[in-house]
Amino acid sequence: MPRKVRLHEARDEYGQMLKLRVKPVTYKTAWCVVKNFVNVAGDIYASNLQPKHVEAWLGANSDSWKPATKQMYVARIGHFQRWLKSRGYIDPLTDIIEDFRHLKTSRGQQLFVPSSRFDELLDVAERQCARDRALVALGLYSLVRRSEMINIRWGDIEERISIYRTKTDDVDSLPISKYLEPELNRWRSHLCRLLQITAPDPRWPVICALQNKDPRAASDETYVPDRAFMNPGRRVWTALTTLGYTDKGLGTHTLRRSGAHAMLDELIEKGVGQDMALIIVKEMLGHADVSMTMTYLNWRAHRRKRDEIVANLGSDAVPSHDNKVVQLRAG
């Protein structure tokens, strides 16, 4: 018979276990998910958990989470459930997520800006302010996430860019492409002229804050150079909507995805094999594996190649029409 323990007590115990065993970034995500679940389920006994509590939890957050996010969070509750079983807090045969393991997670075709419009996008961003052009360039040409972008300091940029991968709690060193180098130099020179200095402080964030926080304010050149701009997605949204894009979810991931598409296409055009090109883009994105990159880009080239090859199977092995071959009659 399961041991009697209130769900909030089990939650706190689970949180302490996680804090000792996983990285801080993983703990933060897991703790938020489980805390949210317990808040919806209520302070019942853990042994009374049922699928209806999961259903209510998903329903309560349906407007906030995309299908892929729901799937990931259900998996996190699955881990919590396994821990509850290991502690004897719920029946070993209980499975509260059984009906929710395979939620629809189709991503569809997510927006990316074609490389032919990159210059146009950079110019639109610059009309907002010079900082925004550098922001867009970083997203397009280094493929960094928002959390990585706001943590880049001037001292992190030399021949390469040193970035902190918040998702993996790791430090990476990225090459600076010929596209990105002039954009960074342009922004650095502009900031130095504006502040009347010879060089930015190495501790200053590259994407610094504006004194005016209104993202609609155009040509605002009042910077706070020692403070990071925490919400670059709002300025990206403004630039993209100016170009005529109206899709939901426009932001820094749109830049990252657009840059990844452009890099992959250019690598393949330059003769880099498709598999190696995907590996290179995967490393720039900081993904765990190539399949994640293919999903992120909605990449279907492998399927097209499959169809092309399979459709032509046997084309070189068609027998000649001679007396030794029995011909099929029409009809």
Looking at every residue in the chain, the average pLDDT score rounds to 86
Inter-residue contact 121 to 139 (CB < 8 Å) = no
Q: Where a domain ends, among 69, 100, 131?
A: 100
What is the rounded distance in angstroms from the CA atom of residue 170 to the CA atom of residue 256?
19
172 lies in a domain? yes
pLDDT bin (cut points 50, 70, 90) of residue 53 is very high
pLDDT at residue 320 in the model: 45
> Greater confidence, 81 or 102?
81
CA-CA distances (angstroms) from residue 242 to 125, 143, 170, 216, 246? 9, 22, 36, 11, 9
Residues 87 and 119 in one domain: no
- Residue closest to 205 by CA, chosen among 145, 126, 149: 149
Please report the pLDDT score of residue 298 as a whole number.
79
175: CATH: 1.10.443.10
**Is 297 part of any domain?**
yes
**Tens digits of per-residue pLDDT, 172-218?**
999 999 999 999 999 999 999 999 999 999 999 999 998 876 545 55
Residue 308 vs residue 33, higher pLDDT: 33
Domain count, the chain: 2
Phi, psi of 225 (to 5 degrees): -65, -20
Give pLDDT, residue 310: 76
Residue 24 forms part of a structural domain: yes
The pLDDT score that the predictor gives to residue 308 is 66
Sequence-distant (≥ 6) Cβ neighbours of residue 21 within 8 angstroms = none
Asked if the structure places residue 309 within a domain, the reply is no
Helical ranges in the chain per DSSP H: 7-21, 24-41, 51-60, 67-86, 118-128, 130-142, 146-149, 180-195, 232-242, 252-269, 274-285, 290-296, 301-311
Give the closest residue to 287 by CA, choosing from 124, 143, 101, 85: 143
Residue 78 maps to a domain:
yes
237 and 178 assigned to the same domain: yes
Looking at the fold, whether 247 and 281 belong to one and the same domain comes out as yes
Between 127 and 169, the more confident residue is 127
The Cα–Cα gap between 151 and 205 comes to: 7
Over range 153-168, report the average pLDDT: 90
Which one is predicted more confidently, 70 or 284?
284
In this structure, is residue 140 part of a structural domain? yes
Statement to judge: residues 93 and 126 lie in one domain: no
With beta carbons less than 8 A apart as the criterion, state whether 160 and 184 touch. no
Pairwise pLDDT comparison (292 vs 317), residue with the higher score: 292
Picking from 99, 113, 94, the residue whose alpha carbon sits closest to that of residue 260 is 113
Residue type, 273: G
Q: Give a yes or no: residue 325 inside a domain.
A: no
Mean pLDDT of 147-173: 90
Q: Are residues 151 and 285 in the same domain?
A: yes
Is 39's pLDDT higher than 50?
A: yes
| Domain stop point among 52, 77, 100 | 100
Q: How confident is the model at residue 112 (pLDDT cuts 50, 70, 90)?
A: confident
Q: Which residues lie below 8 Å from residue 112, measured CB to CB, with a gap of 6+?
A: 254, 257, 258, 260, 261, 297
Least confident of 64-78, 138-152, 179-193: 64-78
**Do 134 and 251 share a domain, yes or no?**
yes
Burial class (CB in 10 A: 0-12, 13-18, 19+), 111: middle
One domain, residues 220 and 137: yes
- Domain identity same for 172 and 79: no
Measure the CA–CA gap between 105 and 326, rounded to whole angstroms: 51
Judgement on whether residues 260 and 131 belong to the same structural domain of the protein: yes
pLDDT of 162 reads 95
Residue 106 falls inside a structural domain: no
Residue whose tokens read 């060193």: 173
141/79 same-domain check: no
23 and 170 part of one domain: no
Residue 47 sits in the same domain as residue 74: yes
Average pLDDT over residues 22-45: 90
Q: Which residue range forms the structural domain that includes residue 153?
A: 115-303
CATH number where 89 lies? 1.10.150.130
